[in-house]
Amino acid sequence: MSITDIGMLFSFIGGLGLFLYGMNVMADGLQKSAGNKMKQLLGFLTNNRFLAVLVGTAITGIIQSSSATTVMVVGFVNAGIMNLTQAVGVIMGANIGTTVTAWIVSMSEWGAFFKPEFLAPLVVGIGSFIILFSKSDKKKIIGEIAVGFGILFIGLSMMSDSITPYKDAPIFSQAFAVLGSNPILALLAGAVVTGIIQSSSASVGILQTLAMNGIVNWKSAIFITLGQNIGTCVTALLSSAGAQKMAKRAAVIHLLFNTMGAIIFGIIMFIIFSFVPDFASSSINSVEISIFHTIFNVTNTIILFPFANQLVKLSGVIIKNSEVKEETAEKEEAITLRHLDERILESPSFAVENAILEVAHMGDIAVANTKLAFEAARENDINKVQTVFENEKTIDNLQKLITEYLVKINNLSLTEKQHMIINNLFYMANDIERVGDHAENIAELAEFKCKNNIVFSNSAQDEIMQIMDIGLKSIQNAILSIKEENIEYVRKVVKYEDMVDNMEEELREKHIERLSNNLCTPESGIVFLDIISNLERISDHAYNIAGYVKDEME
């Protein structure tokens, strides 16, 4: 191999690297620009499979990777956010969405104006100026998308230029002649290459780059493309290795869907090529690859869409459910992350939205435990006291897990608004954990009441029920404000917090008066005052949480 050949190899590798990097930069920019749209897309994930297909198409179009979308689907299923019926639709849509990448790559053949060497430097220049000189975050995101788009084309151009001198080399014609004459081998080649680099976008881009130089025939290109659709399943399968059974089934559904489609189209195209051999051996260009890629994925979805339930059942046959494991999972659900999974980090916008859901989930547990602690204190119920202690361990564990996850999200490519949300979630998780601590304190006071047979007077019992009711409403509305992002809940929290503060002072004075008049014992007085003090602190933390939500809404 000569120095020139080595230089061309380096140029091809560099071009591929720039192509992938440009795709990544552009996808990051698109995700940032999508912002709250990601949350809306997540909201569409209902049992309506047609909507799920549209969501899968939209998500993949935004993040420019069907592999990333299906990995997220595995994460969503593993986290319990999505069921398998929804997953089928999103997976089908992801296959359609990935055709966007092929069309972007083929733009260089739409006309002279779209050729990479003509368009890319201008796009990178404009994008760079926007990033450097614009003060608007939205404009900077547009600049990122433009720079990524331009770098992608520069990489594509480098790959094409490095291959051009060798387009008449016998090795290419012989290789594609062999692949064209052996469809199984072509399928395997496409699957293996895609599986190794774990990017169907990259493998399709390489094939289209070769096609631009006129060295790929129709027969080999079609079967390689079908193989690439199978190879893209490798990423999701690897991702599901340590996941629950349902997540593994989602990855298997992806493999079944793409494999069945490849078999159906493989047979159809084999018959067509057998009857029209001249067509099979003729050269294919990148636009024609994009057209076939789109027709294949859309048609495959139309064919298999009615059989989604059967795909779910078939995945259950391949990955058998373990009843014991499912029971264990249900018992452990309270101490594990419900909405978060590392696979969801593939999309920062989704990761942020699901972090919000998880903090709200932690809040729900804290609210339920606070209510239980109140009941234990009023009813002198030692069993409820023990349950509060157990639940508090769950809350502490969730705070640790959520904090670790938030650190990972904070290191992703986020907008300033998303960084602010993540910082606020850190504080919210801490406030919720402190609410849990105060609930535990109240449970300890209830335990003291039980062991020492302390009973409040009727007036003290009525007073503590009133302040408990308002204190509980304050934290309930604070958690609702996280879920709904509704300013009305924030206003209610502010109102209840003021009421608790005023009542705490008033009840403290009344109870000291009762103590002075020997209407209650010193022990009951200490317990009473400590309970209302903890209640006041709970409402303070609720006020803090509502304040963070208000900041995000401004």
Tell me the pLDDT tens digit for each residue of 232-241.
888 788 777 7
User: For the segment 327-367, what is each residue's pLDDT rounded down to a tens digit?
Assistant: 344 444 434 555 677 777 877 887 888 889 889 999 999 99
Return the closest-CA partner of residue 52 out of 76, 77, 85, 100: 85
Amino acid at 448: F
Q: Determine contact, residues 181/37, Cβ cutoff 8 Å.
A: no
Domain extent listing, the chain: 3-318, 334-553
Q: Other C-beta atoms within 10 Å of 309: how many?
A: 12
Q: How far apart are CA 292 and CA 282, in angstroms?
A: 15
CA angle 475, 479, 482 (to 5 degrees): 145
pLDDT per position as a tens digit, 285-307: 888 888 999 999 999 999 999 99
For 410-424, the pLDDT digits (tens) are 988 788 888 999 999
Structure tokens at 48: 């309506």
What pLDDT does residue 335 have? 45
pLDDT at 477: 95
* φ/ψ of residue 320, rounded to 5: -70, 135
What pLDDT, on the 0 to 100 scale, is given for residue 181? Answer: 74
Q: How far apart are CA 514 and CA 520, in angstroms?
A: 6
The predicted structure's pLDDT at residue 348: 82
Residue 283, classed as helix, strand or coil, is strand
146-165 tens-digit pLDDT: 898 888 778 877 877 776 66
Q: What is the pLDDT of residue 45?
A: 63
- CA 334 vs. chain centroid, Å, equals 21
Residue 480 burial (CB count, 10 A): 22
pLDDT confidence of residue 110 = 64
pLDDT of residue 435: 95
CATH superfamily of 334-553: Phosphate transport system protein phou homolog 2; domain 2 (1.20.58.220)
CA distances from 154 to 108, 118, 213, 488 (A): 11, 10, 16, 51
Q: Write out residues in the chain with pLDDT < 50, as ranges.
A: 322-335
Per-residue pLDDT, 330: 40
* DSSP H/E element including 264: helix 245-275
Question: Closest Cα partner for 297 from 258, 255, 267?
Answer: 258
Alpha carbon of 317 to those of 249, 321, 397: distances in Å?
A: 9, 9, 35
Sign of the alpha-carbon torsion through 250, 256, 259, 262? negative
Residues 6 or more apart from 230 whose CB is under 8 A from it? 187, 190, 191, 194, 255, 258, 259, 262
Question: 464 and 532 in contact (C-beta within 8 Å)?
Answer: yes
Helix (H) or strand (E) holding 159: helix 137-163
Q: Which residues are 171's β-sheet partners?
A: none
Query: Which pLDDT value is given to residue 535?
Result: 93
pLDDT, position 327: 38
Q: What are the structure tokens assigned to 145, written together? A: 């998308």
